[in-house]
A and B are shown apart, each in its own frame.
Chain A
Amino acid sequence: MTLDVIALQSATTAAWTALAPAILLGLTGLALLGIDTVWPDEPSNALLAGVAAAGSLVSFGVTGWLLVAGTGQASTGGAISLYGDALVVDGMSLFFTLIFTVVTAMVAVAAYDYLEDHSHRAEFYSLVLFAATGMALMATANSLATVFISLELASLPSYALVAFLKTDRGSVEAGLKYFLIGAVSSAVLAFGISLVYAVTGSLVLGDVAAAIGNPEMAGVLGLGVLMILGGFAFKTASVPFHFWAPEAYEGAPAPISAFLSSASKAAGFAVAFRVFVQAFPLDAVPAGVDWVVAFQVLAVVTMTLGNFAAATQENVKRMLAYSSIGHAGYALIGLAALTAGGPNGDVLGASMAHLLVYGFMNTGAFLFIALVEHWGVGRTFEDYNGLASTAPIAAVAMTVFMFSLAGLPPFGGFLSKYILFYSAIEAGFWWLAAVGAVNSALSLFYYSRVVKAMWIETPVADFEIETRPVGLYAAVIFAGVGTLLLLPGFGPVIETAQTVAATLF
């Protein structure tokens, strides 16, 4: 409580600044709607994309500045609690907001070219920004009520975005499927929250944790925890709530696939990390409610299933969708390798750092798909044959993404995976790391197929590349450079992630 008092004393001014990233994202979304109102007959695409990208970049900059300045972290008096503990700004929330904002910026820049021939652009950009606002709030949500609301704020625009290509059957079907599974899992989440409330009498995470040691109701609590876990599994596209992901990622416009599989997944993890670590701390939960075991099962099943399914695909976008499920499995190690009193900050921090690197490499890979779709090249591996000779720069970037996703050493993805597995071993879960390493080795098979098609195979059909879309190229190259620089520059990232993660426990 003393911490709260200190926070509140400086809160009147600090409150606004601490929430600035989310507020900026929301305002940008509103500004986009405003532009659409002022010029109702199709405002300029460049203006919309520019505003969306600038808004998210400013938000990114502010988040980075807050993170470096130590806002909400131990050096300046700890987490900043707002609105009666409903929201909390700390190092972790800022770290995740960094991921959301940078992905949003890349998606907005890439969408500039992607939306060239489409109407309703303002709606598209503003929905992206509102979803990003929801994600930023998810990372700060400190009460099960705000968790639910922010999760819905992030999800509802996403449903519309997946179905954005409304004349395309695949897109509409994907949107419907996403929406139906989303609705079911929201209901499950809400039910789980109500069960937890029934046992503990509070929705604020800290109060839940304080009241959780009630052994009489352990069964009901366990059911509630399990249902909450199901709700998060949907958002992170983890087994068994992953069925929507391949269809949604394949049917959605490629920039939206990038957005959902990188930012939205990270948001799911942000909220899962906070809720499970803070509301159901391992040393307080009754013996029957051992959620770590559930996450261990989920992690193993998710990464194995994702990888094996990805290996059997013929369609590159669908392969990436399954690979994205596999990566959710790796990130789940952050929760699966927790122990009471273990090096939990290291494990969770490693998982967060992996999500950041993943934000770059996976977004880049999907945006490359967007580029290829823009050129009208097909979707299967064979259609990618010989792309490197017509578009060498983009092919180099895609090669970087593929090898980095596979975890080959010269790229950022290797380091983040390595440190994730390493901290799992340190926590005593060498078998989790072993399953992860074997899966990671297997994944090289299907990632290298893309590389092989682009560079080594000869093209089956002649295709001419007429345009070099500036926005898509810029976003892809930005993601590629980010993936490369995260190898030498990984030190500060992992240090920040592990430090801020350690303060959660």
Chain B
Amino acid sequence: MHTELYAAANQGNLPRAGLNMVVLDPAHGGTDPGARGAQGVRESDLVLDLAFQVRRALEAQGFQVIQTRSGNENPSFDDRSAMANAQRGAVFVTLHISSTGLPGTVRVYAQPDMPSGLTTGGILSWDFAQAPYLTLSRKFGDAVQGQLAQRFRGSPGNAQIASVRQLRTTAAPAIAVELSSVAVEDRSELDKMMPGVADAIARGLLAFRPSYVLPVAAGAQP
């Protein structure tokens, strides 16, 4: 838990490479099914299908994609973050299906304000790895949410703020995307949403790409 990221931030050594990679995180898996619908649909299965579609849309735009899981495994929150934290020039997208909410809507979440996470010596604390990326994450979130609002009526126009556990330890621009919901009568209603969600994420990321300038010092907000 308290492994530390070697950001070497004060030396200005953070990677300056452009955005070229997306770490996709289909949430839950293994013994954790996530949200479950009355019809037996499981969030863990749905987000895996969604991830494959998002992956295709991103790869079509020239992004490199890695997934935190490709089957029915359940890596820990830290293991999933670690996959993103090991990359340069990456953004992180965790995919969810909710139990509640207006069916057919999609919300994007970014992390709330948090302590700088920087210890003396420029080492970024694992527990607050998201801290230097808050502004970028919100910008990325707004870009994707804007695309989603055009496709899914009733979705908000801007990204929401929530303390999502998965985002806190991720040292990259990071968002959670949540579709409503497993309460639909038929899973085909969710399947129909997936291409639109995938396209919105890919277009939102393209729109965000010019803003992707990594923080000069990990403690400072760009």
Same complex for A and B? Answer no
> A residues touching B (Cβ–Cβ < 8 Å)?
none
Residues on B facing A (Cβ under 8 Å): none
